[in-house]
Amino acid sequence: MTNILVTGGLGYIGSHTVVELQKEGFDVVIIDDLSNSEAFVLDRISQITGIAPDFHQFDLKDKQKTAQFFQENKIDGIIHFAASKAVGESMEKPLMYYRNNIVGLLNLLEAAKENQVDNFIFSSSCTVYGQADKLPIDESAPIKKAESSYGKTKQMGEEILEDFSAAFDKKVIALRYFNPIGAHESALIGELPKGVPNNLIPFVTQTAAGIRECLSVFGDDYPTRDGTAIRDYIYVVDLAQAHVKGLKRLISGENTSNYEIFNLGTGTGSTVLEVVNAFEAANNVKLNFKIVGRRAGDITAAYADNSKAENELGWKPETPLEYALKTAWEWQKTL
């Protein structure tokens, strides 16, 4: 039996990853403090896979509880999602972001070291690249000064892990996600934004559902094919599967260095208007939208060169944008 700890396992990407891990025969233990997730997700996971994951509700900032958890549970690998993730909020509450994302990580790593846990997957972000000089973005692109405190916590997290892997001979993979979207095909799990969504897809689905009156498209004066900003929208289940591949790579010792980085995106960029059109076409609904000014801190374009993940991880995203947008809408309709 291989026991995998998934921190933040009831959150958006975490819950989809738990499902994929269970499907591959891993035993999953979840730590989640429910600060940005819901307890019912646990039942939903069991409904999909037929297996109830072991669940521990506490905050990783609690060093004593974290240490005690590792004394009581034999863990073979960790996938660490638990973190605060709202860019705007991080600018208003930078100290909270540093405490949640850095202190939580340090407590986890200290416990992992004490208890000889050798395999670690970190949830990072393409935000570490900022506006890259060259597109598509590969892993050798320089790290730019982050625009947000959230982005800085991801950059710091990566640096902490690089040192951790070198000093204690631990195997670490940092996965840099582009823009995760969509929901599980069962429509039992998906994204659960609290309050007004910041991200494009939940705003789109809430507008289609009539919860929001109108989608604001932030800027049509970018130097792109239709003037709206370009992102790489990656289906959340494809993304979840990359975590399983990463974990297997570490456990079987196929990694080529102690600290590895992979971009996870489709390799194709879509403009905001292309997403709006694809959503309407995929779901046969009309979206109310208007063009407004640019949003502060937004970049023009980001999409991944994912050839390293394809060649070394054996991971290739298979899901078309239209299907991902269909699952997002099916999920929204259940809420």
The per-type count for the chain, helices as H runs and strands as E runs, is: 12, 13
Please identify which residue in 179, 205, 270, 327 interacts with ligand UFG, judged by CB under 6 A.
179
Does residue 229 touch ligand UFG according to CB under 6 A? yes
Q: Interface with ligand UFG includes 152 (CB under 6 A)?
A: no
Nearest CB to ligand UFG, comparing residues 165 and 271: 271
CA 203 to chain centre: 18
Q: Is 295 in the site for ligand UFG (CB under 6 A)?
A: yes
Strand partners, 120: 78, 172
Q: Does 192 engage in binding with ligand UFG (CB under 6 A)? A: no
| C-beta separation of 275 from 325 below 8 A | yes
Kindly name the residue from 12, 129, 150, 222 that is annotated as catalytic. 150
Could you tell me which of 289, 268, 282 has the C-alpha nearest to residue 219? 289
211: contact with ligand UFG by CB under 6 A: no
Rule CB under 6 A: say whether 203 interacts with ligand UFG.
Answer: yes
d(CA 179, CA 184): 16
Cis before 136 (ω within 30): yes
**Nearest alpha carbon to residue 308 among 251, 255, 233, 269:** 255
Using alpha carbons, select from 276, 279, 310 the residue that is nearest to residue 290.
276
Determine if 216 is a binding residue for ligand UFG (CB under 6 A): yes
Residues 247-286, mask of contacts with ligand UFG (x by CB under 6 A): -------------------------x--------------
Per CB under 6 A, 298 contacts ligand UFG: yes
Nearest alpha-carbon partner for 249 in 157, 119, 84, 160 = 119
Under rule CB under 6 A, which residues in 83-142 are in contact with ligand UFG?
Answer: 85, 87, 125-127
Would you say 56 or 295 has its CB closer to ligand UFG?
A: 295
150 among known catalytic residues: yes
Query: Cβ closer to ligand UFG: 53 or 269?
Result: 269
Nearer to ligand UFG, 39 or 292 (CB): 292
Count of other CB atoms within 10 angstroms of residue 98: 16
55 near ligand UFG (CB under 6 A): no
Stretch that binds ligand UFG, among 12-20, 92-100, 107-115, 214-222 (CB under 6 A): 214-222
123-148: burial string, b at 16+ Cβ within 10 Å, e else: bbbbbbbbebeebbbebebeebebbb
> Closer to ligand UFG at the Cβ: 3 or 216?
216
The nearer residue to ligand UFG, 206 or 255, going by C-beta atoms, is 206
Q: Which two tokens stand for residue 24?
A: 């591959």
Residue 325 as a binder of ligand UFG (CB under 6 A): the answer is no
CB 77: neighbour CB atoms within 10 A?
Answer: 23
Contacts with ligand UFG, residue ranges (CB under 6 A)? 85, 87, 125-127, 151, 179, 198-200, 203, 215-218, 229, 231, 272, 295, 298, 302
Catalytic site positions: 150
